[in-house]
Amino acid sequence: MERHLSADAATADERAAVDAILSRPPSPWVGGERSPHALHAARRDESAVPPRDLLLPALRALQAEAGGVSRGAISYLAARMDLPPSDIYGVAAFYALLDVDAPPEAGASVKVHLCDDVVCQLAGAESLIAKLRDRYGAEGEPAGGVSWHRSPCLGQCDRGPAVLVQRAGTYAADIAIASATAEDVARAIADPTPAPTPPATVPQAGDASLVVLRRIGRVDPADLDSYRHAGGYESLRRALALGPESVIQWVTDSGLQGRGGAAFPTGVKWRAVASQAARTHYVVANADESEPGTFKDRVVMEEDPFAVVEALTIAGYATGAEQGFIYVRGEYPLAAARLRHAIARARQRGFLGSNVMGRGLSFDIDVRQGAGAYICGEETALFNSLEGRRGEPRNKPPFPTVHGLFGKPTAVNNIETLLNVLAILAVGPERFRAVGAEDAKGTRLFSLSGAVMRPGLYEAPFGTRLGAVIDMAGGLRPGRTLQAVLLGGAAGSFVGPEALDTPLAPAALRPIGATLGSGVVVVFDDTANLRHTVLRIARFFRDESCGQCVPCRVGTVRQEELVARLAAGTPRGSAADEIRLFHDIAQAMRDASICGLGQTAASAVDSAIRLGILGREGGPA
Amino acid sequence: MAPPLQVKQLPERIVHATIDGQRVAVPEGTTILAACRSQAAEVPTLCFLETLAPVNVCRACVVEVEGSRALVPACSRPLETDMVVSTRSKRVDKSRRMVLEFLASSVDMSLAGPDVERWMEEYGVDPDRYGPKAAAGADLDARAGRHGPTVGAERATAAQPVKVDNDLYVRDYSRCILCYKCVEACGDQAQHTFALAVAGRGFDAHIATEFEVPLPESACVYCGNCVGVCPTGALMFKSEYDLRQANQWDESRQTVTDTICPYCGVGCTLELHVQDNAIVKVTSPMDHEVTSGHLCIKGRFGFEFVQQRPPAAEPR
Ligand SMILES: Cc1cc2nc3c(=O)[nH]c(=O)nc-3n(C[C@H](O)[C@H](O)[C@H](O)COP(=O)(O)O)c2cc1C
Ligand code: SF4
Ligand code: SF4
Ligand code: SF4
Ligand code: FES
């Protein structure tokens, strides 16, 4: 179809950035520059139209090239990909890391994203923001090619305050800094070769008794041989010897449940995909990790990337998929780079490709990066994002195991879930399930942050008491008392000091209205302003709602307004009136929203009201 | 709409289930909504339209299904064997009230029609529970995932100026409930022009052309099919808009005349809405087998010549 395109033309650099993703146009008829003598023939080659799933990579490339997505660039993309410009605009305008509002002149743009979310608030985010305001002016107003923006959690909560510097043009790079000072930010803006990232904080590193973190600190993340010396690829070898059906049986027998938040049995999911007669199957590793307070998958990907590659290969083998995708959140440049490197090495050495480990198995992996949207961690939103659409969740059913990525049966798993599969194949399901709680087998990664002596990533068996986990991190700072703990992240709930004896397992947490979610444990001592934290969480959900369904699109706004009133001690009517209104809002979001974002958006606020953090009659001062 | 032509090879399977205590039997694939309607159980819908694939975003149609944690959108979920559906449980009524109230608190629903008005009454909608409307209207920041500080004294709304950028129809997005119908109708469900898309996200999600360009600079071909499906008056004939602005729009003075479009051989049925002997709006019946309610620019807007009257002073 002839598309209506604007007269704006892409620059040569923008075209080159797009062509690097889509490959060069095969003929002037599919988006190339038409020369007069090429006009002698009209033809259209469907096969020359690049697949739509390259749209997000192309938009990211444009952002890196020009600091934004310009009208000319969208026209060029529209012509190359045979997509409507409005559609591309709608996709680009969905993502926080893509700019569609008058991108600056090429070559002169740096965006500094500063985490002001719940944990970085405790680590001095506001004082860093004040310094940046002094240097670079008001938020969102470019000065000298630099602008800064408040950002939701950047997944560096073990060492806040965290910053992501998005540099466009000649020295294009995404640079994550934590913990960041104003000088670090200035250096990352100006210096073409950014400083190396400090190693991850894994206080248990080197402990061989760990299940998931056992290789952290013992393997070189860039070296396949180092990974193999640490037992790497033994699990895939075992899997190939067992056959797909037995692998699924082992995973089922192990009792492994998903670690992405929903705790769905992994074996059941894999069997459902494997048994679908419809072909092409896909496996997807969900590395969008954007739940505030969560950083576990980042550490694993950065420090043990070959393990992710091996585990996804096993998932592909078991479910009959020949193609895997790892969807990494856009704010994790180092994780994406290390995974890409690991995949390239594995391919070189025959651990990926058309003849995996010489066994005739065909499997390969593609890394795709997000562009700033928490909702894309929801599995069906992830599919849409990967397919080059707005990250709007789909209604379920149909479930991904039947109708997933590209409409095909798909197994989507969290990174931590996948790493557990390596352990199951290494030690067998019996030994795997010997650890943990009655209702949850194995160990759990805890992203532990806030007011503890040693924030970091910890691994402990399911059923470990909350207090024991906090003790692993050295407990609270001297002289401080515990005020509350946020369990499970923004979609989780606050619990009070009386929960320290509660075992961290689903059934034990249910009576206190909590879940483990993605394994977030944020500790607040008596110095924390929790009303401020609750308000930040309410703001988060308003910002991250995809906006598709009414209960969540409007409900998250009304919730934030209500929390703002309660936090300021200025309720409309009495605090009790406000709490009644809150419960109406919460119930509608929980009952009628399309996806888990809306369904859990009131959870933390609800718990804060229960604990008296918010809404006590008389109100806080 | 007439059912699409179908060659049936196998006999239809029948699904037996319970709706509001009544046993029902419907062909497999029937949605809960269709099954409810066959039972004369009213289920409110806002984003659903018979001629478009359901997008299930408004959530006005939710019903309670035994065994399902969350409520279920009736418009898109097929009825399954032995489902136990309840269309008026306490939870359902609460969610419907809240959906309507959320919308009424943020957009202007005054032209959303008599059904919506009745539902608001029936479900006890009170948008003023959320405080007075913010004067400034929505913070339509082009940057996704950011919004300004919130004090909470006033409620955010989608209020914004009407977009009048062409002679044929206007866009008043302060009435838009984001039902996606215009996008679907402009896109692959009818027109295939794709001039419109949803941009932004969250409360700032909105209907847009690329880079928000005015319609004359967009791909729009003025078929008016988006106007035809818009349930809230957000999209409106310019002729209607002008009369409303002048306080002269009066449906009691209007007649509707069916005719066939004179322009081409397809034979689309037109409904001419006439007030004071002037055509003020053109629609086509949704259940018409040729148009399904959709037209092209000629049938939709090409009526000016009918009412060109010779200037009075000029001699013939
Ligand atoms: C709003 C929202 C965000 C989510 N974000 C993530 C995420 O970042 N990573 C993840 O693994 N799962 C996330 N999930 C859960 C996924 O939808 C899905 O259940 C999970 O990836 C399945 O993997 P698992 O079975 O291994 O846990 C999210 C869910 C919702 C509703
Ligand atoms: S619940 Fe929120 S995030 Fe999920 S589909 Fe609805 S609007 Fe989007
Ligand atoms: S008038 Fe037709 S082409 Fe224009 S926006 Fe509406 S549906 Fe699309
Ligand atoms: S403009 Fe009308 S049809 Fe389009 S989304 Fe808004 S309310 Fe629906
Ligand atoms: S009519 Fe079902 S969700 Fe709108």
**Domain end residue (candidates: A525, A551, A571):** A525
pLDDT of residue A283: 98
Residue A99: inside a domain: no
Burial (CB count <10 Å: 0-12, 13-18, 19+), residue B81: exposed
Joined together, the tokens standing for residue A132 give: 């940046």
Find the ligand nearest to B209 CA.
Answer: 3
- Paired sense of beta strands A410-414 and A281-287, if any: parallel
Q: What H or E segment, with its residue span, contains residue A324? A: strand A321-328
Q: How many Å from the N-terminal Cα to the C-terminal Cα in chain B?
A: 47
* Count of structural domains within chain A: 5
pLDDT of residue A101: 74
Distance A556 CA to ligand 1 centre (A): 20
Nearest to B102 among A86, A397, A558 (CB): A558
Q: At which of A525, A553, A569 does a domain end?
A: A525
Cα–Cα dist A363/A314, whole Å? 10
Of chain B residues 40-59, which have a CB less than 8 A from chain A?
Answer: 56-59
Distance CA A57, CA A101 (A): 19
Residues A427 and A440 in one domain: no
Give yes or no: residues A405 and A482 share one domain.
no
- pLDDT tens track for A303-361: 999 999 999 999 999 999 999 999 999 999 999 999 999 999 999 999 999 999 999 99
**Weakly modelled stretches of chain A, pLDDT under 50:** 106-107, 618-621
Return all residues near B117 (Cβ < 8 A) that are at least 6 apart: none
Residue range(s) defining the domain that contains residue A600? 530-610
Distance between CA B65 and CA A30 in Å, rounded?
50
Same domain for A287 and A177: no
pLDDT for the residue B309: 75
Tokens of B296: 């092209």
- Chain A: closest CA distance from residue B85 (Å): 15
Partner-chain residue, chosen from A84, A100, A591, that has the shortest CB–CB distance to B142: A100
- CA closest to B192 among chain A residues: A1
- Tell me which residues have their CB closer than 6 angstroms to ligand 2: A 375, 393, 545-549, 552-553, 593-595, 597-598
Ligand nearest to the CA of B55: 5
Task: Note whether residue A198 is domain-resident.
Answer: no
**What pLDDT is stored for residue A171 in this prediction?**
87
Picking from A583, A589, A584, A603, the residue whose alpha carbon sits closest to that of residue A555 is: A589
The number of beta carbons lying within 10 Å of the beta carbon of residue A568 is 15
Task: Give the B window 205-264 contacts with A, CB below 8 Å.
Answer: 205, 208-211, 213, 217-219
- Whether A30 and A139 map to the same domain: the answer is no
CB contact under 8 A, B144 and A372: yes
Whether A119 and A242 share a structural domain: no
Q: pTM value?
A: 0.95
Q: Considering only CB atoms, which chain A residues are within 8 Å of B102?
A: 550-551, 553-555, 558, 588
Residue A487's CATH number:
3.10.20.600
Q: Are residues A517 and A538 in the same domain?
A: no
Q: Do A163 and A146 have their domain in common?
A: yes
Each residue's pLDDT, cut to its tens digit, for chain B (316 residues) gives 455 555 556 668 999 999 999 999 999 999 999 999 999 899 999 999 999 999 999 999 999 999 999 999 999 999 999 999 999 999 999 999 999 999 999 999 999 999 999 999 999 999 999 999 997 665 555 578 888 888 899 999 999 999 999 999 999 999 999 999 999 999 999 999 999 999 999 999 999 999 999 999 999 999 999 999 999 999 999 999 999 999 999 999 999 999 999 999 999 999 999 999 999 999 999 999 899 999 999 999 999 888 887 776 655 5
- Closest Cβ–Cβ partner in A99, A553, A558 for B205: A553
- Give how far Cα A465 sits from Cα of A306, A476, A483, A506, Å: 32, 16, 17, 12
Interface size A-B, in CB pairs within 8 Å, comes to: 209
Is A285 in a helix, a strand, or coil? Answer: strand
Domain at B169-307: CATH code? 2.20.25.90
Q: Say if residue A241 is in the same domain as residue A390.
A: yes
Helix (H) or strand (E) holding A556: helix A550-568
Both A350 and A427 in one domain: the answer is yes
Q: d(Cα B294, Cα B288) in Å, to the nearest integer?
A: 9
Nearest neighbour of B99 by CB, restricted to A88, A101, A551:
A551
Residues of chain A with Cβ-Cβ distance to B213 below 8 Å are 6
Residue A331 touches chain B, beta carbons under 8 Å = no
Q: What are phi and psi of B30, to 5 degrees?
A: -65, 135
Among B92, B98, B120, most A C-beta atoms within 10 A, so best to mutate, is B98
In DSSP notation, B122-191 reads: HTT--GGGG-SBPSS-----SSTT-------SSB-------B--SSSEEE-GGG----SHHHHHHTTTTT
Ligand 5 near B60 CB (within 6 A)? yes
Ligand 3 center from residue B292 Cα (angstroms): 16
- Helix or strand holding residue B301 (H, E): helix B297-301
Copy the structure tokens of residue B311. 């200037």
Using CA of residue A125, residue A126, residue A131, residue A132, what is the dihedral sign? positive
Q: What residue owns the CA closest to ligand 4's atom 5?
A: B178
DSSP assignment of A99-127 equals --S-PPPTT--EEEEEE-SHHHHHTTHHH
Query: In this predicted structure, what is the pLDDT of residue A575?
Result: 95
Is the minimum distance from the CB of A264 to ligand 1 under 6 angstroms? yes
> A441 and A413: one domain?
no
Which 3 state secondary structure label does DSSP give B43? coil
**Does B155 touch chain A if contact means CB atoms closer than 8 Å?**
yes
**Which CATH architecture group holds B12-130?**
Roll (3.10)
Residue spans of the domains in chain B: they are 12-130, 169-307
Structural contact between residues B107 and B158, judged by C-beta atoms closer than 8 angstroms:
yes
Residues A479 and A395 in one domain: no
- Best of A380, A557, A562, A614 to substitute, by most chain B Cβ atoms within 10 angstroms, is A557
Would you say residue A5 lies in a domain?
no
Pocket of ligand 3 (CB under 6 A): B 185-186, 191, 193, 195-196, 220-226
Q: What is the residue-wise DSSP string for B83-123?
A: -EEESS-HHHHHHHHHHHHHHHHHS--TTS-HHHHHHHHHT
What order of strands is seen across the sheet that includes strand A482-487? A456-461, A443-450, A520-525, A482-487, A493-495
Are A333 and A408 in the same domain?
yes
d(CA A136, CA B141): 21
Cβ distance B197 to A96 less than 8 Å, yes or no, reads no
Cα–Cα separations (whole angstroms), residue A84 to A74, B110, B193:
9, 33, 8
